[in-house]
Amino acid sequence: TANNRATTVGNYGSNYIAAKEQMTNRQAAIKIIRRLRHNDFEALLAGGCVRDMLLRRRAKDYDVATNAKPKDVIKLFGRTLKVGAKFGVVIVLLKDKQVEVATFRTEAAYTDGRHPVGVKFTTAAEDANRRDFTINGIFYDPLQRKVLDYVNGQADLKKGLIRTIGKPAKRFGEDYLRMLRAVRFSTQLGFAIEPQTLSAIRSNAKNITKISGERIAMELEAILVNPNRSVGVSLLAESRLAEAIFPGLSSEQMKLAVIALRELRRKVDFALALACLFAACLTEFALAKLKILKLSRNQIKHIKFLLANRGKLLN
């Protein structure tokens, strides 16, 4: 018994030490940056984590951008996943963390509104200029504690603006999903979409259906589960994206959807939020329109139940 008790205490102790020693995503990314710099490569934090840090928000993922080529990254780090190596992206595995390490690049023409034909490795400044929005184009050097901003992203962070880098129509033509991402960032951050950027979304909204239903669903879910969802849905209507994704959904039905979404508690799941989006529609109409999102059988079943019982549930 004494031996068993000692083993139990020993296991607890090792678990406690492991928990204390567990690396955060940020620490993993900085460790990678240190090693790259030690080997004479340039390496910086990039994208959303820098934006969130400057806004004093908690970042989930920490991405690294570097002038090291994918083959250099693979050689330097023992455990890697070569998922997007031909586009300059390697996933580095450190303990239980996965960090995306991307080589500074420019992208060739996009022929399908989703993927570039090829990439060319380049400098940090050129890499910043191929990104989607100014607020996502800022780099940060965590070793020298220095912000590198080639796209005036900090100014737009201060103004609370979502603005494309370069001409909006060109940026959206490269990847149509960026139009939905603009609405998502606006919803999540409480930022306005800059007028020319919004105008380009309205002009290109019909192209959103060239993107796979699964990718559209992921962005919609991020908008609809956010506590600011009613503002997000108003923006989906204003930008004409709602009309493009769900043709036949009238402006009156959208207004009622916004009211219904406003009444929801802060934390809701995707199915409930989608049911509220179609609260003013016939169940059959809603289910037909939702086919584009390629939802799971369980999600469809749940939405069907919520819509069929909306009278009882609302009372």
CB 177 within 8 A of CB 211: yes
Q: Do 143 and 210 belong together in one domain?
A: no
- What is the pLDDT confidence band of residue 312, given thresholds at 50, 70 and 90? low
Final residue of a domain: which of 106, 141, 159?
159
pLDDT at 23: 86
Residues 113 and 207 reside in one and the same domain: no
Query: Residue 17: which H helix or E strand, with range?
Result: helix 2-21
Query: Between these two residues, 7 and 87, which has the higher pLDDT value?
Result: 87
DSSP codes joined into one string, 133-171: BGGG-EEEETTTTEEEESS-HHHHHHHTEE-BSS-HHHH
Long-range contacts at 115-120 (CB < 8 A, ≥ 24 apart): 116/87, 116/174, 119/86, 119/87, 119/88
**Mean of pLDDT values over 16-37:** 82
Q: Rounded CA gap, 109 and 10, in Å? A: 58
Mean pLDDT in residue range 280-307: 96
pLDDT at 11 over 80: no
Expressed as residue numbers, the domain containing 155 is 23-159
Q: How far apart are CA 203 and CA 167, in angstroms?
A: 13
User: Does residue 177 fall inside a structural domain?
Assistant: no
Domain membership flag for residue 180:
no
**Number of folded domains that form the chain:** 2
The answer to the question of residue 290 being in a domain is yes
Does 143 share its domain with 35? yes
Mean pLDDT confidence for 145-168: 97
Tens digits of residue pLDDT in 72-130: 999 999 899 988 878 899 999 998 999 999 999 987 666 655 666 668 899 999 999 99
